[in-house]
Amino acid sequence: MSASCPDFDTFMEGVKKRNPGQDEFVQAVHEVSHDIFDWIEDKHEYHEAEILRRMAEPDRIVSFRVCWEDDDHNIRVERGWRVQNNNAIGPYKGGLRFHPSVTESVLKFLAFEQTFKNSLTGLPMGGGKGGSNFNPKGKSEAEVMRFCQSFMTELYRHIGTDVDVPAGDIGVGSREIGYLFGQYKRITGRWEGVLTGKASEYGGSAVRVEATGYGAVHFLQNMLDGIDRDMEGQKVIISGSGNVALHAAEKLIDLGAKVLTLSDSDGCIHDPDGLDADKLQWVKELKLERRGRISEYADKFSSASFTEDGKPWDVDADIAMPCATQNEIGEEEAKSLADNGLCALVEGANMPTTVDAVEILREAKVLYAPGKAANAGGVAVSGLEMSQNAERVSWERGKLEDMLADLMRDIHGKCVEYGQQDGKDGYIDYPKGANIAGFKKVADAMLAFGVV
């Protein structure tokens, strides 16, 4: 190898040195690069062009002050960011997250991951992510609106349909997208598809709301097909009770699986009888409309128990679907899952499993689908929302559901193509497959552009 091609440890030392205190970002780069390093060992063009090093350095990060006035007339100051990681294959694309845990490191990790995820969809979308440490929880409607307006007053100059198209994420649902879009339109005077996740009345796509959760279950279905195992009767433990968790649960129940748990940041409910369509409808009203707490489920349904600060990972199950937040499954939880004979873990959330936990799952031959592949359905339908907006059309639900299922089958196929392991009894290394397939398309585009 040439001098410009360090070994993996030297490469990671450099990443750590250039990104002090940014543990989430370093973790994400470590996880991806580990797989890529092996694959590019004999591919000198990528080394010579320093492709991996360039991908691990965002194109730009915009950071800005967001001032707003609360209902008691206090002036509040938060920080906003947009990380534009890579636009080699299309405009930057990725969600906005409003949560107190948001930092530059978290957004850099998410934008980096998004670059590979968007590439895997096969659609022309680059990678970005943004957000704020603003906490919408407990704020009045008027406060959320004023915050969103102030946030967009800074962000609008950095985005555009061919530049950067943000969407929702944790803490940014259809209400926030409405306020953000309204402010963009007010400032620029233009109606254009500059945000996705819009409501159907003003350019939103059918199936976008359900797409991440449904897509993750399609991915799981493809995994199970590969090992001749039926979805019917599979016991599934899910964390979270937001958009992704509840739509994953909906599709699972539809396909005959038994959903045993849900959670939120207060704790976890366990219903040994499983959720059915009626119970799930009740939770959807509780969490998505009334913004209530999941503990109320155990008050309503006597078959269930609630554990404060509890997590689902010690409940005996066939499938685990972490759908809440990053790093919710560490070594201890992974051991418990593996000891209980888990068949597959499918990430609805972004990076919910730590690097060490993934190793334990791999050792135990648990099928493991990383978020960048399994939860790509959301951004894929966002890409289809962009296409519909550009064409000024709305496709019908059935067509979009079919397109989502096809996209998830293709993503699964790419993971299998690059993740097949010689001499490992057919065990598919899904993260490796996803990382290499995602990397290759972006890397080849970057090579074509020369040094820019």
The verdict on 118 binding ligand NDP (CB under 6 A) reads no
**Which span sits near ligand NDP by CB under 6 A: 156-164, 270-278, 321-329, 424-432?**
321-329
For residues 247 and 217, what is the distance between their CA atoms, to the nearest angstrom?
9
Listed as own residue / partner, the contacts of 45-50 with beta carbons closer than 8 Å and 24 or more positions apart are 45/447, 46/443, 46/447, 47/1, 47/2, 47/4, 47/5, 48/2, 48/4, 48/5, 49/446, 49/447, 49/451, 50/4
The verdict on 207 binding ligand NDP (CB under 6 A) reads no
For residues 109 and 22, what is the distance between their CA atoms, to the nearest angstrom?
9
Q: Is 312 within 8 Å of 239 (Cβ atoms)? A: yes
Structure tokens at 268: 């976890």
SS3 349: coil
**Which span sits near ligand NDP by CB under 6 A: 85-93, 162-170, 393-401, 436-444?**
162-170
| Total binding residues toward ligand NDP, as defined by CB under 6 A | 21
The verdict on 196 binding ligand NDP (CB under 6 A) reads no
Catalytic choice (93, 108, 117, 129): 129
Q: State the nearest-atom distance from the C-beta of 88 to ligand NDP, in Å.
A: 21
For residues 78 and 261, what is the distance between their CA atoms, to the nearest angstrom?
35
Of the residues 169, 210, 250, 333, which one makes contact with ligand NDP according to CB under 6 A: 169
Structure tokens at 255: 């396909």
Of the residues 264, 271, 333, 385, which one makes contact with ligand NDP according to CB under 6 A: 264
Q: Which is nearer to ligand NDP, 5 or 329 (CB)?
A: 329
For residues 95 and 23, what is the distance between their CA atoms, to the nearest angstrom?
21
The verdict on 381 binding ligand NDP (CB under 6 A) reads no
Q: State the nearest-atom distance from the C-beta of 138 to ligand NDP, in Å.
A: 11
The verdict on 241 binding ligand NDP (CB under 6 A) reads yes
Beta strand 258-264 with 164-167: parallel, antiparallel or unpaired? unpaired
Site string for ligand NDP, 338-377 (x = CB under 6 A): ----------xxx------------------------x--
Distance of CA 63 to the CA centre of its chain: 22
The verdict on 205 binding ligand NDP (CB under 6 A) reads no
**Which span sits near ligand NDP by CB under 6 A: 139-147, 235-243, 395-403, 404-412?**
235-243
Intra-chain end-to-end CA distance of the chain, in Å? 23
Of the residues 212, 221, 354, 389, which one makes contact with ligand NDP according to CB under 6 A: 212
314 φ, ψ (degrees, to nearest 5) = -100, 5
Of the residues 15, 268, 323, 386, which one makes contact with ligand NDP according to CB under 6 A: 323
129 is annotated as an active-site residue: yes
Q: Which residues are catalytic?
A: 129
Enumerate binding residues for ligand NDP (CB under 6 A): 168-171, 212, 240-245, 264-265, 323-325, 348-350, 375, 378
